[in-house]
Amino acid sequence: MSDLSTGLPDWRGGWLNRLVARPGFQSWASRFPLTRGQARRDGAVLFDIVQGFVQSQVLMAVVELDLPRRLRGGPLRADQLSQATGVPAERMTILLQAAAALKLLRRDRSGRFHLARKGAALMGVPGLEAMIRHHRAFYADLADPVGLLRGPETTELSQFWPYVFGAQGDIDPGVAETYSDLMAQSQKLVAEDTLRAVSLKGVRRLMDIGGGTGAFLEAAGTAWPDLEMVLFDLPQVTPGAVERFGAAGMSGRVTLHPGSFRDDPLPEDADAVSLIRVLYDHADDTVAALLGAVFDVLPAGGRLIISEPMGGGAAPDRAGDIYFAFYTMAMQTGRTRSSEEISRLCSDAGFTGISSPAPARAYVTRTLTAVKPGA
């Protein structure tokens, strides 16, 4: 058997891996001219994985202390940032050095720190800073990864996202506003990539299910000025949607239908339905029921648009199979699925013409479209 990526015999799991796993071999390989380059590269990659959590916590501290904005006006010394943040100067120096090593900042010869391109991107990428702050709950659940894998009774993230369990009547409006705002901020990139991958040409009326305060519909309505829109989501998020569409001048083009797709019938008279970051929040039986309900309300020839991070299936994906897989695990409901798995669920619901193009940014989203046959 051969490894298709190299054309070499596939010895993984065999004697070669047993050899590589020996500390003595690693010591020898790091010195032997023909193997030391690979051994050192492997070691560097492994160490980068080992220190990954520390890197993410450095990023958290940079965001919490608002360093990008403090440095936007020009370079500062560690003692100046220490005075502004209340962090002792020697420890601020450690943070700044770490941020510079991550290329978020840049240190000049005089010891001052400048905002680097990646640091500036923290402010320019919609929703990124809010998501980083939100990771405090996610990291708490990952503090004991084996415990998380074995299935705790409750998690920090499951308390943050109560809507996924369907208990809409028990959701405090303040909690709903918090998660709706976070979703809306991060939805901008998702909407951007979705609308690049999927054309709405020929669509008269688009219904977005689980669309929060309407960030995706606002983007779709801006890109397609003649599009009529329907937003279907929990009643707790409706006030935010009213405000959003009013500010965008779209109130006359959008119909709001408060409700839960678990318990309430879906509105009809839409010739396209979008599910933007909805399926991976829910278990297979809930997803199957939702897709069946969508199929029933669409007319013949009606289109289904799914957009969310997906796993890689036979070709594991760094975003879908690491970050989003563990995130949904910590939510205690739902999971990331590959495009092949979602395609099967759509096919089981009756959809045909299923297509999932290669994503522009898999860490943002991937799209899948399907059609109700019979037109």
Furthest C-alpha separation in the chain = 72
Dist. CA 87–CA 94, nearest whole Å: 11
Dist. CA 125–CA 298, nearest whole Å: 35
Kindly report the pTM of this predicted structure: 0.84
CA separation (Å) from 45 to 8, 27, 38, 320?
A: 22, 17, 11, 20
Closest CA to 356 of 310, 322, 292, 288: 310
Please name each of the domains of the chain with its CATH number. Answer: 2-50 (no CATH), 64-124 (1.10.10.10), 145-371 (3.40.50.150)
342 CA to centre of own chain: 17
Q: What is the pLDDT of residue 41?
A: 83
> Tokens standing for 250?
């779209």
pLDDT digits (tens, 9 = 90+) for 86-130: 999 999 999 999 999 999 999 999 999 999 999 999 988 877 888
Dist. CA 95–CA 241, nearest whole Å: 40
Residue type, 100: A
Secondary structure in 3-state letters for the chain: CEECCCCEECCCCCHHHHHHCCHHHHHHHCCCCCCHHHHHHHHHHHHHHHCHHHHHHHHHHHHHCCHHHHHCCCCECHHHHHHHHCCCHHHHHHHHHHHHHCCCEEECCCCCEEECHHHHHHHHCCCHHHHHHHHHHHHHHHCCHHHHHHCCCCCHHHHHCHHHHCCHHHCCHHHHHHHHHHHHHHHHHHHHHHHHHCCCCCCCEEEEECCCCCHHHHHHHHHCCCCEEEEEECHHHHHHHHHHHHHCCCHHHEEEEECCCCCCCCCCCCCEEEEECCHHHCCHHHHHHHHHHHHHHCCCCCEEEEEECCECCCCCCHHHHHHHHHHHHHHCCCCCCEHHHHHHHHHHHCCEEEECCCCCCCCCCEEEEEECCCC
Per-residue pLDDT of the chain (375 residues; tens, 9 = 90+): 444 444 445 545 576 677 677 777 677 767 778 777 887 888 788 888 889 999 999 999 999 999 999 999 999 999 999 999 999 999 999 999 999 999 999 999 999 999 999 999 998 887 788 888 888 889 999 999 999 999 998 898 887 765 555 544 454 555 455 555 666 667 888 999 999 999 999 999 999 999 988 999 999 999 999 999 999 998 888 888 999 999 999 999 999 999 999 999 999 999 999 999 999 999 999 999 999 999 999 999 999 999 999 999 999 999 999 999 999 999 888 899 999 999 999 999 999 999 999 998 998 999 999 999 986
